Amino acid sequence: MSNGTIGTVLITEEQIREKAKEIGAQITKDYAGKEIILIGILRGAVPWMAEVMKRIELDMVIDFMAVSSYGAATKSSGVVKINKDLDVNIDGRDIIIVEDIVDSGVTLSYLEGYLQSRGAASIKLCSLLDKPEGRRVDIKADYVGFTVDDRFIVGYGLDYDQRYRNLPYITWLESE
């Protein structure tokens, strides 16, 4: 198994923290007086969720889901497997899904439909990164940290073969 080689720093920890503050303040405003549920998508969203949630001044509950795509061939059909389901009841609740990156959009569009079917009152998406060139389904995150171009990103939760999630900055995979 190879770790690959990585590039230089693309987005610093300081920039990410600053962005989390801005987005946290925006969410605080947008949901004033409401109690929200943040749903983090394991495992990539963990560091970003930790930053953003500290910056939201609202009553909130957090939960996590783990999902995986059914392999490349069926990916475009939007078939996603749930490996860890919700523990909290979301019926009638205002939900924000927290993700590491929106690439094809397949995962998030599936999750949106799933959470709707579980009775969520509203669903918004908050992603650390957006890779618009990768999009295969029409989906847009409501709160986006940074837009990246079409390369394989690692660090700050994002992995290559489960490695590099612990990097305190965003970089890219230069070669495998």
Write down the least CB distance from residue 45 to Mg ion, Å.
Answer: 7
Which distant-in-sequence residues (6+ apart) come within 8 Å of 2 by Cβ? Answer: 176
Member of 6, 53, 58, 100 binding ligand IMP (CB under 6 A): 100
Is residue 103 among the annotated active site residues? yes
Residue nearest to Mg ion (CB): 44
**Shortest distance in whole angstroms from residue 43 CB to ligand IMP:** 8
> 119-156 in b/e burial notation, b at 16+ Cβ within 10 A?
ebeebbbbbbbbbeeeeeeebebebbbbebeeebbbbb
Residues whose CB is less than 8 angstroms from the CB of residue 148 and which lie 6 or more positions away in sequence, other chains included:
10, 101, 129, 130, 131, 170
Q: Which of ligand IMP, Mg ion, none does 169 bind, CB closer than 5 to 8 A by kind? A: none
- Per DSSP, the three-state class of 96 is strand
Residues near Mg ion (CB under 5 A) are: 44, 100
171 binds ligand IMP (CB under 6 A): no
Interaction between residue 99 and ligand IMP (CB under 6 A): yes
CB of 138 to ligand IMP, least distance (A): 12
C-alpha–C-alpha distance, residues 159 and 166, integer Å: 9
Stretch that binds ligand IMP, among 18-26, 28-36, 58-66, 94-102 (CB under 6 A): 94-102
Does an H or E element contain 129, and which?
strand 122-130
Given ligand IMP, Mg ion, none, residue 104, with its beta carbon under 5 to 8 Å by kind, binds ligand IMP
Tell me whether residue 89 or residue 147 sits nearer to ligand IMP (CB atom).
147
Q: Which residue blocks in 32-83 are alpha helix, DSSP H?
A: 46-53, 72-75
Residues known to be catalytic: 103
Q: Which residues bind ligand IMP (CB under 6 A)?
A: 44, 99-107, 131, 152-153, 158
